[in-house]
Structure 1
Amino acid sequence: MNNLFQDANRQQISGRRRNDLIWRILFLGATMFGIVALSALIITIITDGIARLNPDLFTNYPSRRASASGMKSAIVGSLYMLCLMAPISFVLGVGAAIYLEEYAPKNRFTRLIQLNISTLAGVPSIVYGILGLAIFVRTFGLERSLLSGALTMTLLVLPIIIVASQEAIRAVPRARRDASFALGATKWQTVSRSVLPSAISAIMTGVILALSRAIGETAPLIIIGAATYVAFLPESLFDTFTVMPIQIYNWIARPQEAFQDLAASGIIVLMIMLVIMNVAAIMLRNKYQKNI
């Protein structure tokens, strides 16, 4: 009887190991497929665009001739938009997260708000473009300006920043708050001097990653009417503008091979900017973690 039981146990263990090996191979295959596809795409882009990655790409304005075309206005437009989005989205997003986590009563209404914020974080970006067109372009009369684009993209990243900031604040141990209150600190002193310093690394990481997503978005800006051909730099918040994804989209839409190579060069520049932002997020996180 014992031998039969041991044989059955060995068969079960053998079957589990076999299933574990099969699933491990499947997961490894799926991972390798994604890595190979992404590597092939990156290699193709670099091969096509490296020849046009020269100073003219950064100093020339868009042109109808590929040999004289650049993306100066698109790069500057993206940087202007980032400079407008960053402070607005940081203040509103982190402020909303602090209120929801530290001050708002835990009732049905706040749970409904939390559910809506989490839902908005997964809404397709084109919906925010329609919302920005209705509110900022038409209702507020900001027209198809740089300010309209920055506010529209702020709407896009706000739910992401709020959710990331809430998770960071929620991860701060309750003991820190209790120790601060025990020393006689007020609610705001506890939040500003104990909770936020502990959560700022994760908050900054979430903010930078959300902004890096916005830099690569095209659909919302096309909806609100960002121009595909701008041969000047915006001089005010109410000027027409363009950004790198729209300029790349414009070049890809053209049939000439020279413009396809220009688009590949623009993609390389955009990827470098995104990598820099992601590295900055990692460095900020590590810096603040060491200081806590």
Structure 2
Amino acid sequence: MRAGRKYFIYDVFTQRPLDGNPLAVVIDSEGLDTAAMQAIAREFNLSETAFVLPPKNPTHKACVRIFTPDYEMPFAGHPTVGTAIALSEMAEGNDLAGIFVLEENIGLVRCAIDKLNNGLFAEFDVPQLPEQLPLSADPEAIGAALGLGPHEIGFENHRVSLWSAGVPYIAVPVADLKAAAKVKLNNDAWVEFSPRKSEFAVASAYVYGRETVDHTSSFHARMIVPGNPSYEDPATGSAAAAFAGAIMRFDQPTDGSHRFWIEQGIEMGRPSRIRLEIDVAGGKLAAARIGGHAVRVAEGVLLA
């Protein structure tokens, strides 16, 4: 491995350092093979690390590969937002705004950068619209695996459902903030019924409710990744993309564009804000976009 590869650490879906979801972005990753990228991601030990490579199509901005400490992801939201802002900040001529395409394993991801609230804001088109997948597990069993009783599962007409926009999540609606706060995943119980998303891991839990801490938020959310140990993610763009399917299914928004702010990470002390926009046409989801801020908190050089 060639030494001297620059990296940045960003906190994503926030404008405040040490809030949001941390991300490592390795610049100039050309020459790294999959095993080396996996080892570097394991070294950073963040939920995800993004590796920037030359694009296959020279009209695109970059190719981006995304790794957790254990496996490669086809797509993820906070690495897309953080990498887009990192590349924009590095642009020649300090051109901080613009539209470009990133090549990810899931396909082409169109990103737009703009200035919003005295900071850079990145938004990307969801490359794969959410699809509802079959879920045979009993909702009460799912709730029990999260430490919730039957009376704490569901609100209005929202019910437990499984969605994927490239990465699958079991979306679990909860009655209120109190129920959301008590969630604790029992990994052994969860893996018994959760469909596998890869050879390494099962689908994660996306707990959401209409009651929020911030009055400007539309939904309150938590995302728990199963494993030994399981862990919580402070902001999850791919889950918000999948959640667009649940919004369409249960809220049935009218034709037109709709914007939702999702708060996440509050229970773990890393508050985050994710903007989800959806376009509805003919009663069906036509497009979705995920957006958020990111702030650089560290940088360095890989010497290994």
TM-score, normalization: structure 2?
A: 0.26
Select the structure that is richer in strand: 2
TM-score, normalization: structure 1?
A: 0.27
Specify which structure has the bigger relative contact order, considering alpha-carbon pairs within 8 angstroms and separated by 6 or more residues. Answer: 1
